[in-house]
Amino acid sequence: MPVTQTVPAAARMFLSGNDAVARAVWEAGTRVAAAYPGTPSTEILEVLSRYPDLHTEWSVNEKVSMEVALGASMVGARAFCAMKHVGLNVASDALMTMTVTGTEGGLVIAVADDVGMSSSQNEQDSRYWGRFAHVPVLEPADSHEAYAMTLAAFELSERLKSPVILRLTTRICHVKGVVQTGERIEIEPAGFVKDPRHWVMVPGNAKPRLPSMFVREAAARAEAEISPLNFQVDGSDRRIGFVASGPTFMHVREAFPDAPVFKLGLSCPPPLESLRRFAGTVDSVLVVEETEPLLETEMKAAGIACHGKDVLPRIGELAPDVLEPAVRRLRGEVVPEPEHVPAQQVFPRPPTMCVACPHLGVYYTLSQMRNVIISGDIGCYTLGAGHPWNALDSCISMGASMGTALGMDKGRGKVDENKKVVAVIGDSTFMHMGMQGLLDITWNRGNVTVLLLDNRAVGMTGGQDNPGTGRDIHGEETPRVDFAKLCEALGVKSERIRVVDPYELPVLFKALREETKIEEPSVIITNRPCVLIDHYQPAKSYTVIEDRCTGCGNCVEVGCPAIHVTRRDKAVKASGKEVDLSFVRIETSACTGCGLCVQPCAPEAIVHADPVQSVQSVQFVRK
């Protein structure tokens, strides 16, 4: 199905930082844009894919997306790739050579740091990559700047023949503001110039190119000193002069409207001479940066006295409510108690898996198994670590469940001898970085059972496509990966590969028990789609017959958010043991009839909402 490619005309638009970057990438005449979805950067490519006149794609991982962008740049086209902070770790191998070759067509890398960790496994400061790779870093402070700096980044990239990092944070990506947009320019690529000394990075060619990085860095430094992206806001209260980059600039202006501020837009390499002059005009300098004391260290090394992380937190966002008390303390003032009502303690509301999510059955089953160590991965199925399943023992990074599981298997001592090692991974994650780990498991004869949860989507980021869905970013058909064959090609014996329906709990349980018993690599592939994608077909919903419900609570353990406890009670068993009872109700309007909760319900209290239809009784083996 071809997408409708209508582009809103140049206007005053209300855009998120991600929308604004996408708009500017398109306006800049970019021909190729690639990414792997990752919060908070995902929407950039989603929005771009709706624009005409450029190739957009989901790549299997961030390194590939960067390579695709570099290839386009080599032939003279403007190119773009986007990723979240942890994605740049994956892509760093390409980046560290790309910085030696340099670029032809303007190449911009948008990196979104999850400051405050809304949905990531770590909080890292990607500005370090700019220093590490000797490439310029631009840091917008809101949507309007994200738009303008993206355009500036392409020009800077072409001037310096260098990739340019556009550093975003969650508070840029997902904040909406008013942006004045323009029209697309068309740029005809100059064409590929065969020049092995430039593009073939064998030592003999790479060594003579290394100095170019430092020549470029010097040029960027000179540019930073005079760039309009770095500017000073004057203020009458000269007790503290602030140095800020990214969204912290807005927070500083908000909290201290009368203070002078030096704002860094082109922050790497930093304009140290301008900063030195600025420091000379105020009593003391406070560097406000998220998250690492990077500028602070650089300024101190240049002999510019300043405060920074001695008064501000090293983690999380530096919003006005954090800044204000810290600065007051620095000024030696007493911080008054707030006048408003204090924060109230209310139960936590962690994210949960969706109603009828095919992963529910997998984690319910895993939670019923004893003596397993479960190595987890990144995706919706990471939520299996939460209640009620508590069924993950580790989660490190994309695709790491495989290698971690192998290490657990090989490294375990006597105490863990009888345990089964299970690795859980999703379809997209498997192709992103998991395949190599599985290859390592088969090659090194690991005793690991892999649960490959194929829900035909990148679920966590909103159901994007991947090579396992048979569709590309535009929803158009492409070849579809056959996971069973792929696993076989990676060395798993065909009889050790099973495809099971995750809604059939007894079958799933049996498959897991059998495969974990056998001492060789095995793969169990589950085959139901994510409930958020178009291909999911809801069935007739269920309801609970109150009189039959014994309050055993087994269905609650499945973890479906459509099941609600209406009443709690206690009962004393014949053995004298006291048990908790939970009587339930199913939110019929939410239930999609997957039938999962029906299976562990021994008294058959859960029936189709339509009373005529009776439920098939399914025996569920409980350990």
Partner 1 sequence: MSQITNILVCGVGGQGVMTATEILAEAAISLAFDVKKTEVAGMSQRGGVVTSHLRFGRVVLSPQIVPGEADLLIGFESAEALRWSHMLKPGGVALVNSGRIVPPVVNLGLFDYPEDPVAKMRALGLTVHAFDATTIATDLGNIRLGNTVMLGACADHLPFPAQVLRDAVLARFGTRKPHLVEANRQAFEAGRQAVGGDALAA
Tell me the site size for ligand SF4, rule CB under 6 A: 25
In whole angstroms, what is the distance from residue 517 CA to residue 447 CA? 10
Residues that contact partner 1, how many (by CB under 8 A): 53
Cβ proximity to partner 1: between 298 and 557 the closer is 557
User: What CA–CA distance (Å, rounded) separates 317 from 314?
Assistant: 9
Q: Which stretch binds ligand SF4 (CB under 6 A): 29-37, 308-316, 332-340, 588-596?
A: 588-596
**Residues in 250-279 at the binding interface with partner 1, rule: CB under 8 A:** 250-251, 253-255, 257
Pick 14 or 443: Cβ nearer partner 1: 14
85-101 vs 62-74: helix crossing angle, rounded to 10: 30
User: What are the b/e assignments for 424-445, b being 16+ CB within 10 Å?
Assistant: bbbbbbbbbbbbebbbbbbeee
Q: Does 346 bind partner 1 (CB under 8 A)?
A: yes
Return the residue of 94, 295, 354, 402 that touches ligand SF4, per CB under 6 A: 354
**Token pair recorded at residue 505:** 């709990």
Of 2, 8, 303, 342, the one binding partner 1 (CB under 8 A) is: 342
C-beta closer to partner 1: residue 352 or 394: 352
Q: From the list ligand SF4, partner 1, none, pick the one residue 451 interacts with, judged by a Cβ distance below 5 to 8 Å according to partner type.
A: none
Q: Which does 197 bind (CB under 5 to 8 A by kind): ligand SF4, partner 1, none?
A: none
**Least separation in angstroms between CB 459 and ligand SF4:** 3
610 is in the binding site of which of partner 1, ligand SF4, none (Cβ under 5 to 8 A by kind)?
Answer: none
Q: Which stretch binds partner 1 (CB under 8 A): 179-187, 338-346, 493-501, 514-522?
A: 338-346
The three-state (H, E, C) secondary structure of 82-100, written as one string: EEEHHHHHHHHHHHHHHHH
With binding defined as CB under 8 A, does residue 603 bind partner 1? no
Q: Which amino acid is at 175?
A: V
- Please name the amino acid found at residue 569: D
- Map residue 138 onto helix, strand or coil: strand
Q: Which of residues 219-248 bind partner 1 (CB under 8 A)?
A: 247
Which of 486, 563, 594, 606 touches partner 1 by CB under 8 A? 563
Alpha helices in 237-378 (DSSP H): 248-255, 272-279, 294-301, 320-330, 359-368
Q: Which of 279, 356, 391, 422 binds ligand SF4 (CB under 6 A)?
A: 356
Residue 11 near partner 1 by CB under 8 A: no
Structure tokens at 269: 């390499």
* Dihedral sign, Cα of residue 366, residue 372, residue 377, residue 383: positive
Q: Which of 215, 222, 518, 565 touches partner 1 (CB under 8 A)?
A: 565
309 touches 295 (CB < 8 A): no
In angstroms, the first-to-last Cα distance of the chain is: 48
- Tokens representing 5 are 């490619």
Q: Cβ neighbours of residue 323 under 8 Å, at least 6 residues apart?
A: 251, 252, 255, 256, 288, 312
**Tokens in use for 342?**
């204090």
Least separation in angstroms between CB 374 and ligand SF4: 17
Which residues make up the interface to partner 1 (CB under 8 A)?
A: 14, 116, 118-119, 142, 171, 174-178, 247, 250-251, 253-255, 257, 319-321, 324, 338-344, 346-354, 380, 383, 387-388, 462, 556, 559, 561, 563-565, 568, 580, 582, 589
